[in-house]
Chains A and B, each alone.
Chain A
Amino acid sequence: MIEAKNLNLFYGTFQALNDISMKVPEKSVTALIGPSGCGKSTFLRTFNRMNDLIPGVKIEGEVIVDDMNVYEKGVDVDNLRKRVGMVFQKPNPFAKSIFENVAYGLRVNGVNDEKLIKQTVEESLKQAALWDEVKDNLKKSAYAISGGQQQRLCIARALAVEPTVLLMDEPASALDPISTSKIEELIHELKKKYTILIVTHNMQQAARVSDHTAFFYMGSLVEFDETKTIFTHPVKQQTQNYVTGRFG
């Protein structure tokens, strides 16, 4: 169960998120849409406290992951990030082999059992639908595979540490259409096991992959409902304008 309660976020004096409350349904895909600068990426990054890295950030309110407020004092951020996986806009594999990329999360979290690591790497790559393509080249550099494969590698890397939640920040925006459709298929598979939050610019993609959709505008959550409702019968005029492309 993940949830935001009365969440406010400031960059210095600029308020980037404005009193957001939202319950994200478990084991399903929730899409965050909205124009650039609406705060959707910032909101996504509050769930694994990635915004902490930006100097001058101030956060009020609560973000609940697994029945715990992640902004409470004394929360182990490293552990939180292990439970909340993240996939980034552009594929960002490490300058290591394919195998070591997936094994990385295990190693930094104290797993030493090579047999277990091997097994987990294989499972993760299978889950990410990449195993068949790379199983003979696990020692190859991660930079040697295509962009689409790299992105699936990054997903496998996130899955290896067995998160419950998966955050995806425009995961297909840097990919070609074929790779994009592969990622979307994968998201369909993954929602059986994981709660997925995905930020996207691409309305069709949101319609294709998500069960619920949240529309953000100027740092506020305008509307949150089932995807088919948002795309066909939105309550708010702003949402209607955005999804029909009459926005701005």
Chain B
Amino acid sequence: MKLSTKKKIYQGIAFNLFRLMSGILVVVLISILSFIVVRGIGVISWDFITKMPEDGMTKGGIYPAIIGTLCLVAGSMLFAFPVGVLSGIYIHEFVKDNWFKRFVKLMTNNLAGVPSIVFGLFGMSLFVNTLGFGDSIIAGSLTLGLLALPVIIRTTEESLKSIDNVFREGSYALGATKIQTIRRVVLPLAMPNIITGFILSIGRVSGETAPILFTVAAYFLPKLPSSIFDQVMALPYHLYVLSTSGTDMEASRNMAYGTALVLIIIVLLLNLIANFTRSYLSKKVKH
């Protein structure tokens, strides 16, 4: 066989194989999504979203779980967003490139790699037991917040890195201090990407189960929380309960499909919003 034909055949085989395997990946994702959408779409209704669970969680809605997840997202972001952004600013704008910076970055990366169940153990030991918060929104939020920190810090750093030094120098040349420059020039430019990271970490936080297992999540609660020291139900834990340890698993299957779909919709929406802010806000900043 001619050499060039042989080379073409090998290339054709390889490329088509790669194409096929990437295709399988898309098919897997689509089948997971469509499975849950098809089975869950009939379950979702206004009542499903706004009613309490009934009949041992086999009927009714998932209102308390939605509220619980909202509380946890709000609580964790209230803590993690400011701290994470400040931390990113400090690491990128203030620390010189020395061992300290490398060490802090190493620690941030290490924290990002810690499994979520270890966060759960840690949160239980520190917030629930040692600080005496008990199983509560505040304990769960802080645990989730710590988990989200590395993501927010890293996106902040990345977005600061992408800003050309001419903007900083331009501000300094007008006699602005470092803090003023960061606040009035650098941060507004970096905001679109920071917001994108913020939205994506909301997605991460709202889907996490392991960290809240022993810090806040309740199997079932007949009423909504009234203070940050109350337990709450949460969407991901609710799905776990419904699919593995409900009172009547067959009967609560539909509730599980609905809950899974709500979780997927949240992730999808957040991804869309993140992509939108990334492109929309960055355009607006440039013009």
Q: Is the interface of B mostly helix, strand, loop or mixed?
A: helix
The reply to whether the CB of B4 lies closer than 8 angstroms to some CB of chain A is yes
Flag whether B287 is at the interface (Cβ < 8 A): no
B4: which A residues are within 8 A, CB to CB?
Answer: 76, 78-79
B-side contacts of A109, CB under 8 Å: 3
A72 CB to nearest B CB, Å:
15
The A-B contact count (CB < 8 A) is 8
Interface size on A, residues (CB 8 A): 5
Q: Does A110 sit within 8 A of B, measured CB to CB?
A: yes
- Judge whether B7 is part of the interface by a CB distance below 8 angstroms: yes
For B7, list chain A residues within 8 Å (CB).
78, 110
B223 at the interface (CB under 8 A from A): no
A71-85 near B? 1/0 per residue, CB < 8 Å: 000001011000000
Query: From residue 49 to 83 of chain A, which have CB atoms closer than 8 A to chain B?
Result: 76, 78-79
Closest to B3 in A: A110
Nearest CB to that of B5 among chain A residues? A76
Q: How far is the CB of B11 from chain A (nearest CB, A)?
A: 9
Is B283 interfacial (CB 8 A cutoff)? no
B:1-58 near A, CB below 8 Å: 3-4, 6-7
Residue of B nearest to A109 (CB): B3
Q: Which residues of B contact A79 (CB under 8 A)?
A: 4
Residues of chain B contacted by A76 (CB below 8 angstroms): 4
CA distance A79 to B3 in the complex (A): 9
Determine the chain A residues whose CB is within 8 A of the CB of B3 once the complex forms: 109-110
**A interface footprint on B246-282 (CB within 8 Å = 1, 0 otherwise):** 0000000000000000000000000000000000000
Chain A nearest CB: distance from B19 CB in Å?
18
Interface string of A181-217 (1 = CB under 8 A from B): 0000000000000000000000000000000000000
- Which residues A105-135 have CB closer than 8 A to chain B? 109-110
Which partner residue on chain B sits nearest A77 by CB separation? Answer: B4
Q: In the assembled complex, how far is the CB of residue B2 from the closest CB belonging to chain A, in whole angstroms?
A: 9
Smallest beta-carbon distance A117→chain B, Å: 15
- CA distance in complex: A124, B198 (Å): 57
- Inter-chain CA distance A76–B2, complex, in Å, is 11
- Shortest CB distance B38–A (Å): 38
Report chain A residues within 8 Å CB of B6.
Answer: 110
CB under 8 Å from chain A, chain B span 130-157: none
5 smallest beta-carbon distances between A and B, as pairs: A110-B3, A76-B4, A79-B4, A78-B4, A78-B7
Interchain residue pairs with CB less than 8 A apart (8): A76-B4, A78-B4, A78-B7, A79-B4, A109-B3, A110-B3, A110-B6, A110-B7
Binding site for A on B (CB under 8 A): 3-4, 6-7
Question: With A78-B4, A79-B4 given, can you name 6 additional A-B contacts, CB distance below 8 Å?
Answer: A76-B4, A78-B7, A109-B3, A110-B3, A110-B6, A110-B7
